[in-house]
Structure 1
């Protein structure tokens, strides 16, 4: 039972690293492709908006397919896309290289999560997805910062080339070791899955994910640029800072997996409240070693926790169609990522890098208010 989850977690590392590795590479990509950092940030928006727009439809359609072949096919597509990114001579081909994996990420993440829950049962959904989520945390602990270190040593193209090789290796591992897993039962139709969107409570949960991830990525998209330009760090030191940011996320992943099984919305509000503190304190503490470490530590713990909490929260809100509910969270989260990257670029151009933490905290504050309203709605929905 454990091996399939670990294999999916390892594949998830590659999938999520492909999405987020660009965060640490934005300054280098912008310089090489001769665009501004805020323009390069649109690559994050393109990826995220593609996932948001097409993720639920693709997940609902591909849910009927046998899982092993589907997951292997997705990893092969990621290998190809990362190869194209490594060779891209301009921003337009780079955009194409970011578009392809955006089609596969929501399908993999939603269906891998559902597979993990089916293995252990819904009462342990948070802990099962925490194991899958371990691959996500490792992507932030190792994937993103190591990508930054590789970029600083050998160029950003090398980071994508290595990621392509890793994707091929993970596809081979799944082919050898992952057992065949059937798709959804025939009674689960596209219409029945999209019927979830008639629920105001479900819509509220999706909007909550949009707000949370908008707040996160208003600032996180440009964290490497903040550390370079405001703290004066070189590329190597930025990579180690991102490594520390991700490493403390292991704590958040564990805490989030336990708290979300008990009280999903309370868990959301608690981690959001602490995230505001970390975001707001970052820039004022930028020249204090201890202050900067504390701010990034709090932010890193809460960010990893909210990745997991948001995902499980949607799946628990729709136990009759957990994979589709997961895809709705992925869509909402990526809509938030795209909006955050877009809004963050606007904040940089208008108010400067120093304002990003406060701008992101504004989204998070609104998400706390919404979560409290959803808690009030839940008893009424149950009575209805």
Structure 2
């Protein structure tokens, strides 16, 4: 995903970055520092979305909720991103980037503080909706801005740095948040996120140079990609993949605590191990997707199904559970870059919009997964959640050859 984004942005950067540097005196060192701050901001922002997965048991206990009802906070965030992400990104695409990022980070600081102070579940829900509105805007504009800051010679590395912040949040945000939550409570975790968001806003305010204002894009032309049935089918495939992933991943901390009987203080370390394996998965996914994104999706989704089912089947044996979680973690994280590249390559044009739409559909899957996982817990119990998630992953596997035939490609 990182290399593909860098290639996509190279033409844009070559026509804008020299003008920006000349007009605004953007020093390379200043631009590099701003890119670093954007990468750290990406980590904080994406961690804000996913950190709640590791904190659900504590939140459920404090508010007297079942774990399934607490899981609806994940659904709320994801569905907000899905519904408003592309529209909001399009509406602010022409706004001055410095003002935009500073405002977004102030909003994250406020919303995380609101969650930390929440006296009831409704305030908590509001504190989750606000950052969900801002997250897709940051995601949709940060890589382009990083490339603009760095200049054409360094654009690829700059985009890679921002995506490293996003990948690090996906891999380490949940386990680190869980460990911090065990030490200072889930409210303390959100206070830390609020402080980090505020710090990034202030630093960007003083460090980030003023860039050339982006041109207003014609959204109607970009939306023509929605007339392509193969592109739409790839979006549907992303929904299936992320539904499978988050049917079980949303409740992994609860599964480890209640079924595997991992001590509460040790759950974060287990999630950390899952994340470390995920780093390798992210690397594998990036290499798998280069030649054939559909084939990469087929293989990774199949491995995901095996890993999730095995984690449930072998949960009574700690050694075998570690192996099963490792298989699950590899496939889980590999599917992030695989799905992003697959959808963007399915678009003949407007790949930035295609990427944003994929993020929206991924969040639709995240929300559906949290709902299905909650229903599974209520009806069957948390111990069976891996089987249900694996079944959905198998559906995703079966969808791949159908899409391949639609596009005249090899069916697997």
- Normalised by the length of structure 2, the TM-score is 0.85
Note the 1:1-12 alignment, pairs <5 A.
6-12=36-42
**Other-structure match for 1:323:** 352
Structure 1: gaps of 5 or more residues: none
Task: Tell me, in whole angstroms, the C-alpha distance in 2 between the residues paired with 1:16 and 1:98.
Answer: 12
Larger CA deviation: 154-163 vs 281-290: 281-290
What's the CA shift for 1:49? Answer: 0.7
Larger CA deviation: 218-227 vs 176-185: 176-185
Query: Contact (CA 8 Å) 1:147, 1:159: kept in 2 or not?
Result: yes
Count of residues in correspondence between the two structures: 378
Are 1:194 and 2:227 matched, yes or no? no
* Aligned partner (choices 104, 109, 112) of residue 79 of structure 1: 109
Query: Contact (CA 8 Å) 2:244, 2:393: kept in 1 or not?
Result: yes
Structure 2: gaps of 5 or more residues: 1-30
Q: Structure 1 residues 242 and 134 mapped into 2: Cα distance closer, same or farther (>3 Å)?
A: same
Q: Let me know the Cα RMSD of the aligned residues.
A: 2.5
Query: Contact (CA 8 Å) 1:26, 1:40: kept in 2 or not?
Result: yes
**Other-structure match for 2:250:** 221
**Other-structure match for 2:267:** 238
Task: Tell me, in whole angstroms, the C-alpha distance in 2 between the residues paired with 1:292 and 1:72.
Answer: 43
**Other-structure match for 2:24:** none
* Aligned partner (choices 302, 307, 316) of residue 287 of structure 1: 316
What's the CA shift for 1:48? Answer: 0.6
What's the CA shift for 1:3? Answer: 5.8
Task: Tell me, in whole angstroms, the C-alpha distance in 1 between the residues paired with 2:263 and 2:334.
Answer: 29
**Other-structure match for 1:250:** 279
**Other-structure match for 1:259:** 288
* Aligned partner (choices 103, 122, 142) of residue 172 of structure 2: 142
What's the CA shift for 1:199? Answer: 1.4
What's the CA shift for 1:323? Answer: 2.3
Task: Tell me, in whole angstroms, the C-alpha distance in 2 between the residues paired with 1:209 and 1:173.
Answer: 36
Query: Contact (CA 8 Å) 2:225, 2:349: kept in 1 or not?
Result: no
Task: Tell me, in whole angstroms, the C-alpha distance in 2 between the residues paired with 1:270 and 1:127.
Answer: 29
Query: Contact (CA 8 Å) 2:56, 2:70: kept in 1 or not?
Result: yes
What's the CA shift for 1:280? Answer: 0.6
The SS at the match of 2:407 is helix
Query: Contact (CA 8 Å) 1:218, 1:341: kept in 2 or not?
Result: yes
1:25-71, CA deviations, whole angstroms, 9 ceiling, x for partnerless residues?
Answer: 11110110111111111111111111111111111212222223212
**Other-structure match for 1:70:** 100
Query: Contact (CA 8 Å) 1:117, 1:128: kept in 2 or not?
Result: yes
Are 1:59 and 2:92 matched, yes or no? no
Q: Whose radius of gyration is greater, 1 or 2?
A: 2
Are 1:333 and 2:378 matched, yes or no? no
The SS at the match of 2:106 is helix
**Other-structure match for 2:21:** none
- Normalised by the length of structure 1, the TM-score is 0.91
Query: Contact (CA 8 Å) 1:141, 1:242: kept in 2 or not?
Result: no
What's the CA shift for 1:118? Answer: 7.5
Are 1:164 and 2:187 matched, yes or no? no
Task: Tell me, in whole angstroms, the C-alpha distance in 1 between the residues paired with 2:362 and 2:249.
Answer: 14
Task: Tell me, in whole angstroms, the C-alpha distance in 2 between the residues paired with 1:130 and 1:267.
Answer: 21
Task: Tell me, in whole angstroms, the C-alpha distance in 2 between the residues paired with 1:174 and 1:120.
Answer: 15
Task: Tell me, in whole angstroms, the C-alpha distance in 1 between the residues paired with 2:244 and 2:349.
Answer: 30
1:63-97, CA deviations, whole angstroms, 9 ceiling, x for partnerless residues?
Answer: 22222321221111111100000000111110000
What's the CA shift for 1:115? Answer: 4.5
**Other-structure match for 1:133:** 163
**Other-structure match for 2:241:** 212
Are 1:377 and 2:399 matched, yes or no? no
Task: Tell me, in whole angstroms, the C-alpha distance in 1 between the residues paired with 2:355 and 2:145.
Answer: 12
